[in-house]
Amino acid sequence: MNKTILCGLTIDEIYEIMQSSGFRMDHARATANQIYKKGLSDLSESNKLSKKLKMFIKEKTLSGLFLPESSFISSDGTQKSVFRRHDGRCYETVMMSEGKRTTVCVSTQSGCRMGCPFCMTGRYGFYGNLTAGEILNQIISIPLSRPVTHVVFMGMGEPMDNIDNVVKACTVMMAEWGLVISRRNITVSTVGITGKVKQFIKESPCNLAFSLYSPFPDERRAVVPVEKSYPSIDIIEIMKSDDKHKDRRLSIAYIMINGINDSDKHLEGLIKLLKGSRIRVNLIPYHPGPDDVNRSSSEKRMQHFRHNLTISGISASVRKSRGQDISAACGLLASQFEQ
């Protein structure tokens, strides 16, 4: 008999499984608490569930929680964990702590099919979407010394290419019976699939980050394949017109590559594109993969961009590079699989 995997289900879905056997909503809530808050992979070990409920769970369900097969620690304290799907395909998760903030960077796919040449995950290929449970398990089952405060969907895969599972995972993260993470601390990143971005804006209150590469469509089209089908200007307009959640953080992720997209012309293009909007800019160092001749813009150049964006009324920051020595930095996930 096929058993139902619990991780990834909402409390209503857990209750739907249980109610025909005489269990109440409070039993579903207790079960959800043991999975999402306690992270119990074997619910028979719980002292919060009745014997009858534990017998039902053992017969009908699986927790869906499992540990990573390996983990690596960077010299800066960043932790990368490698998970393996039931079909053998891998995906990676990154955890970063700084001050009181602990951020987990989750994957949404094994590999990616967007084909961006500056991203090692795209070079790895595409091997399937992750379920909502597999996304959530990355937060629940990685080795942690303190609670997760922030989640970013910036690992392997294009979140909008797996939108239904991403929205469902966000729902569980925010729920009081789930992971209880504030929507203001959850950010979903995308290279832009117009219809799916609209769906996300409509169905989720979480933050949205758009990976731009260049403010000029012809330059972006030459490097980012989805620009041909889903123009960046359309994504920007969707972001500008979002008024459903006025406190939702909308941002541009701008990877800076020396001599490629860091000229004053690019700076002026960014200012023209975003001035007067509430969209902020995260300037990100470029991390070259093997045999890549491109290099990141200098710290001085990135600060020049930040300063001029800021004085133009556009909130901007320079993201600190983390975990490069274990291939955990932006754009490097799956690099060891590629090799």
State the Rg of the chain over Cα.
21
Whether 328 has a pLDDT exceeding 70, the answer reads: no
Q: What is the mean pLDDT of residues 189-196?
A: 97
Q: Which residues contact 279 (CB under 8 A, 6 or more apart)?
A: 236, 239, 240, 250, 251, 252, 314
Whether 338 has a pLDDT exceeding 70, the answer reads: no
The CATH number for 253's domain is 3.20.20.70
Distance (Å, whole) CA 23 – CA 99: 43
Backbone angles phi, psi at 202, to 5 degrees: -75, -40
Residue ending a domain, among 62, 84, 110, is: 62
Q: What pLDDT digit, counting tens, does each position of 247-288 carry? A: 899 999 999 999 999 999 999 999 999 999 999 999 999 988
Q: Are residues 44 and 96 in the same domain?
A: no
Strand, helix or coil for residue 284: strand
- Active site members: 92, 330
How many domains does the chain contain in total?
2
Q: Are residues 228 and 287 in the same domain?
A: yes
pLDDT confidence bin for 336, thresholds 50/70/90: low
pLDDT confidence bin for 19, thresholds 50/70/90: very high
The single-letter code of the amino acid at 313 is G
Q: Are residues 94 and 13 in the same domain?
A: no
pLDDT confidence bin for 171, thresholds 50/70/90: very high
- In the chain, what is the straight-line distance between the N-terminal and C-terminal CA atoms, in Å? 40
The pLDDT value given to residue 228: 97
Structure tokens at 96: 């970063």
Q: What pLDDT digit, counting tens, does each position of 299-312 carry? A: 999 999 999 999 99
Q: Are residues 267 and 163 in the same domain?
A: yes
pLDDT confidence bin for 128, thresholds 50/70/90: very high
Whether 331 has a pLDDT exceeding 90, the answer reads: no
Q: Are residues 149 and 49 in the same domain?
A: no
Q: Which residues contact 49 (CB under 8 A, 6 or more apart)?
A: 27, 30, 31, 34, 43, 57
The pLDDT value given to residue 119: 82
The pLDDT value given to residue 168: 98
Residue ending a domain, among 46, 62, 78, is: 62
pTM of the model: 0.94
Whether 134 has a pLDDT exceeding 50, the answer reads: yes
Residue at token pair 């390996």: 70
pLDDT confidence bin for 187, thresholds 50/70/90: very high
pLDDT confidence bin for 337, thresholds 50/70/90: low
The pLDDT value given to residue 86: 84
Q: Are residues 172 and 123 in the same domain?
A: yes
The pLDDT value given to residue 202: 95
Q: Are residues 264 and 235 in the same domain?
A: yes
How long a stretch of residues is the chain? 339
Q: Are residues 152 and 276 in the same domain?
A: yes
Q: Which helix (H) or strand (E) holds 198?
A: helix 194-203
Q: Are residues 53 and 94 in the same domain?
A: no
Query: 142 and 190 in contact (C-beta within 8 Å)?
Result: no
Report which of residues 334 and 200 the model is more confident about.
Answer: 200
pLDDT confidence bin for 333, thresholds 50/70/90: low
Backbone angles phi, psi at 91, to 5 degrees: -150, 160
How far, in whole angstroms, is CA 172 from its chain's centroid? Answer: 14
pLDDT confidence bin for 318, thresholds 50/70/90: very high
The CATH number for 8's domain is 1.10.150
Q: Are residues 104 and 85 in the same domain?
A: yes
Q: Are residues 172 and 44 in the same domain?
A: no
Q: What is the mean pLDDT of residues 117-131?
A: 86
The pLDDT value given to residue 334: 62
Domain that holds residue 24: 4-62
Q: Are residues 176 and 56 in the same domain?
A: no
Residue ending a domain, among 62, 85, 104, is: 62
Q: What pLDDT digit, counting tens, does each position of 54-106 carry? A: 999 999 999 999 999 999 999 989 999 999 988 888 999 999 998 899 999 99
